[in-house]
Chains A and B, each alone.
Chain A
Amino acid sequence: MSERITAITMPKWGMAMDEGTVVVWHVAEGASVAESQEVVDVESPKIANAIEAKRAGVLRRQVAPLGSVLPVGGLIGVIADADVTDPEIDAFVAGYEPPEAALSDSGPSIATVEANGRTIAYLDIGAGDPPIVMVHGFGGSLASFMFNQSSLAEDRRVIAIDLPGHGASSKDVGDGSALSLADAIAAAIDVIGLTRFHLVGHSLGGAVCLHLAELRPAQVASVTLIASAGLGPEIDGAFIDAFVAAERRKEMTDVATKLYADESIVTRRVVEDMLRMKRIDGASKAMATIATQQFPGGRQSAAAPTDSGVPLLVIWGEADRVIPVAHAALASGAQRHIVAGAGHMVHAEAHAEVSRAIAEFCNAHP
């Protein structure tokens, strides 16, 4: 029965989220939905985004009316095939209980390891090997993957890491090269105790993952590159410079809007979170060091190695304004997945589609 009826539940986007509000229903009760169609928008005090249908079917119930506030895991709606009877749907709704994990107050929290003289912060959730290790982009943090990590972690262990200079990790970025960042992450992965893993890297994190794959080809099951650096020379240098310089909300808002095709995503909370990271002592200097090393004069200074023999998936938003989508073709032998209507933060803007592509690729390369 559970395959015929699918619950739409309140997601957990980021560790601070414990409840969310239903703000827009995109699909009427009784209407058909396609897989990955946006069904409903929810927001928490920090974030707003759409929930997409996990499968095709009919939206049989809008359980949560507009404006209602639900805890994480709470039942928002029900998708089922048209031939499921109403009493079956009613029974499903009446008998629905959120999974235990969704209800636990404690939840996962960020852990740290000491490796090569640095503190590296990471968020480790889910179970199932080989795990996925996610590496965020320039100026981001492990929270960049908040829309992806929890859904990927339904099926396996997923570890999102703060790069040196970013998030809660140490601000020492060495010479600022992708290779030195990869060395730092490799050391952290050893201390965490991973022996074989998938890598997912966004932007700068993509270049770091390519170096990691070259350093540890036997340990890396696959690499997924999302809007990756290290493939071609072009990058929006004005974006990099403005990000390094931004100290106030207005400046950071201008920078942040370049990351998305849909600029309405850039709420003041999104900007505040970016500022919070940059305010940490040493963060701006660390980013300046990376920018000077890797993106001098608005160009990417060095290509990352793509010939380590590890299976590669490249995901890109067609409307990327930071690194051109044309770079997706530059990773030879890679599988490609281009997302229409999404920008540089394609994994947030089209999170369900991107998470699904990552999961399928990882499953295909166990």
Chain B
Amino acid sequence: MARILTYRDALREALRQAMEEDPTVILMGEDIAGGKGAPGEQDAWGGDMGVTKGLWGQFGDARVIDTPISEASYIGAAVGAATCGLRPVAELMFVDFMGVCFDQLLNQAAKFRYMFGGKAKTPVVIRTQYGAGYRTAAQHSQTLYSMFAHVPGLKVVVPSTAYDAKGLLISAIRDDDPVIFFEHKVLYDEARDDVPEAPYAIPFGEANFVREGDDVTIVALGRMVHFAAKAADVLAKNGVSCELIDPRTISPLDEDSILESVEKTGRLVVVDESYPRCSMAADIAGLVVDKAFHALKAPIRQVTAPHTPVPFAPVLEDAFIPSPAKIEAAVRSVMKGA
């Protein structure tokens, strides 16, 4: 209690504890040790966002492997190592680079258990950063988790808090299936909360009720959970009671919690930083239309980014990202006439 860590430090603690408890856990990625071989630069980086800093010093070359800038090779190597008994955690520096290693995940890792009649397991974790708001332009800012949630055989995790980041990463590493672990690049510093020091595991497919309410269900993911909480605070002061649900994992998805909440409130706003087409927002809206249509008192509203690449111009990038004000407006629109 009251042990406040950042998202970054919580992730590092999860990696360290997982490596301490299980010698088969290894790390792979670009610059995850950083500057190795250059005098005076040993272990200086810890990856682009500093998550793995210090782990090469503790665990050494055999378990913290700086790879060439070739996602196709090291993501494939991580998947192969997983089938042969290791538990690799590979860092894909930006999810935007998934294109060069997607076959290894889509057609290999996701299929092994199924195609080998359950005789193979692939306990690999791909950690990757996503999201806009960091001034990193169209090729380093996308929110692409729904593309992985589309694929049977992959588990997809989208933590919003430091507490969830640690507990879900430990679960991901202990899981025998491939897990794609999405870290929002703005949250490394902005998300800081109470994180127990001891290792703990949060089960997949269990949503977190960030706040309880009666009028509107808001389902939000990743950084959007924090924006939705801000909107809900403002709305609460104006007499609108929001129930805020963070699914935490989108594959598997805790459908029951979402449906249970919508059956109570009758209204749904889904907040997703993705592009709108084929997004988690559309997926969750579809789920509710399919299974709780008769509970709905108002149309479902989706708050997403627009269907356009992430702009580099700061004012446009800011306008691109769903904001607390847009979420608040969406909630007000479904409350009209109530």
Contacts of A110 in B (CB 8 A): 1-2
The segment from B25-33, B43-51, B106-114, B197-205 found at the interface with A is B197-205
Q: In the bound complex, do residue A281 and residue B201 qualify as a contact, i.e. CB atoms below 8 Å apart?
A: yes
Alpha-carbon separation in the docked complex, A84 to B163 (Å): 50
Taking the nearest CB of chain B, how far is it from the CB of A343, in angstroms?
Answer: 21
Q: Which residues of chain A from 44 to 87 have any CB-CB distance to chain B below 8 Å in the complex?
A: 45, 67
Q: CB-CB contacts of A233-251 with B at 8 A, as 1s and 0s?
A: 0000000000000011110
Contacts of A67 in B (CB 8 A): 236-237
Q: In the bound complex, do residue B2 and residue A15 qualify as a contact, i.e. CB atoms below 8 Å apart?
A: yes
Q: Which residues of chain B from 250 to 270 have any CB-CB distance to chain A below 8 Å in the complex?
A: 256-257
Q: In the bound complex, do residue A168 and residue B203 qualify as a contact, i.e. CB atoms below 8 Å apart?
A: no
Q: Does B208 contact A (CB under 8 A)?
A: yes
Most buried by A among B198, B202, B209, B257: B198
Alpha-carbon separation in the docked complex, A161 to B203 (Å): 28
Taking the nearest CB of chain B, how far is it from the CB of A24, in angstroms?
Answer: 14
Contacts of B1 in A (CB 8 A): 15-16, 109-110, 143, 168
Q: In the bound complex, do residue A267 and residue B200 qualify as a contact, i.e. CB atoms below 8 Å apart?
A: no
Contacts of A269 in B (CB 8 A): 209, 212
Contacts of A279 in B (CB 8 A): 167, 200-202
Q: Does A268 contact B (CB under 8 A)?
A: yes
Taking the nearest CB of chain A, how far is it from the CB of B241, in angstroms?
Answer: 11
Q: In the bound complex, do residue A109 and residue B2 qualify as a contact, i.e. CB atoms below 8 Å apart?
A: yes
Contacts of A276 in B (CB 8 A): 163, 196, 200
Chain A's closest residue to B243 (CB) is A268
Taking the nearest CB of chain A, how far is it from the CB of B257, in angstroms?
Answer: 7
Q: Does B277 contact A (CB under 8 A)?
A: no
How many A residues have CB within 8 A of the partner chain? 23
Chain B's closest residue to A142 (CB) is B1
Q: Given the known A-B contacts A272-B208, A272-B209, are A281 and B194 also in contact in the complex, defined by CB atoms under 8 Å? A: no
Q: In the bound complex, do residue B203 and residue A248 qualify as a contact, i.e. CB atoms below 8 Å apart?
A: yes
Q: CB-CB contacts of B220-238 with A at 8 A, as 1s and 0s?
A: 0000000000000000110
Taking the nearest CB of chain A, how far is it from the CB of B28, in angstroms?
Answer: 25
Taking the nearest CB of chain B, how far is it from the CB of A13, in angstroms?
Answer: 13
Q: Does B206 contact A (CB under 8 A)?
A: yes
Alpha-carbon separation in the docked complex, A269 to B42 (Å): 44
Q: Given the known A-B contacts A45-B211, A67-B237, A267-B212, are A280 and B206 also in contact in the complex, defined by CB atoms under 8 Å? A: no
Alpha-carbon separation in the docked complex, A143 to B208 (Å): 21
Q: Tell me the dominant secondary structure on chain A's binding face.
A: loop
Contacts of A250 in B (CB 8 A): 256
Q: In the bound complex, do residue B198 and residue A168 qualify as a contact, i.e. CB atoms below 8 Å apart?
A: yes
Q: In the bound complex, do residue A280 and residue B196 qualify as a contact, i.e. CB atoms below 8 Å apart?
A: yes
Alpha-carbon separation in the docked complex, A15 to B3 (Å): 11
Q: Which residues of chain B from 1 to 44 have any CB-CB distance to chain A below 8 Å in the complex?
A: 1-2
Alpha-carbon separation in the docked complex, A68 to B221 (Å): 29
Alpha-carbon separation in the docked complex, A209 to B59 (Å): 44
Q: Which residues of chain A from 85 to 136 have any CB-CB distance to chain B below 8 Å in the complex?
A: 107, 109-110
Q: CB-CB contacts of A249-280 with B at 8 A, as 1s and 0s?
A: 11000000000000000011100100010011
Q: In the bound complex, do residue B197 and residue A281 qualify as a contact, i.e. CB atoms below 8 Å apart?
A: no
Most buried by B among A45, A67, A281, A282: A281
Contacts of B2 in A (CB 8 A): 15-16, 107, 109-110
Q: CB-CB contacts of B171-212 with A at 8 A, as 1s and 0s?
A: 000000000000000000000001011111111001011011
Q: Which residues of chain B from 234 to 248 have any CB-CB distance to chain A below 8 Å in the complex?
A: 236-237
Q: In the bound complex, do residue B237 and residue A281 qualify as a contact, i.e. CB atoms below 8 Å apart?
A: no
Alpha-carbon separation in the docked complex, A172 to B123 (Å): 30
Contacts of A45 in B (CB 8 A): 211
Alpha-carbon separation in the docked complex, A279 to B206 (Å): 13
Contacts of A282 in B (CB 8 A): 198
Taking the nearest CB of chain B, how far is it from the CB of A276, in angstroms?
Answer: 7
Alpha-carbon separation in the docked complex, A123 to B79 (Å): 46
Alpha-carbon separation in the docked complex, A267 to B209 (Å): 10
Alpha-carbon separation in the docked complex, A257 to B236 (Å): 27
Chain A's closest residue to B194 (CB) is A16
Taking the nearest CB of chain A, how far is it from the CB of B204, in angstroms?
Answer: 11
Chain A's closest residue to B163 (CB) is A276
Alpha-carbon separation in the docked complex, A272 to B167 (Å): 13
Taking the nearest CB of chain B, how far is it from the CB of A221, in angstroms?
Answer: 28
Most buried by A among B2, B163, B194, B203: B2
Q: List 9 additional A-B contacts (Cβ < 8 Å) besides A269-B212, A279-B167, A280-B196.
A: A15-B1, A16-B2, A45-B211, A67-B237, A168-B197, A249-B206, A250-B256, A280-B199, A281-B199
Question: What are 17 sample pairs from A and B whose C-beta atoms fall under 8 A apart?
Answer: A15-B2, A45-B211, A67-B236, A107-B2, A109-B2, A143-B1, A171-B198, A249-B257, A250-B256, A268-B209, A268-B212, A279-B200, A279-B201, A280-B196, A280-B199, A280-B200, A281-B199
9 residue pairs, one from A and one from B, having the closest CB atoms:
A268-B209, A279-B200, A280-B200, A281-B199, A15-B2, A280-B198, A109-B2, A110-B1, A248-B206
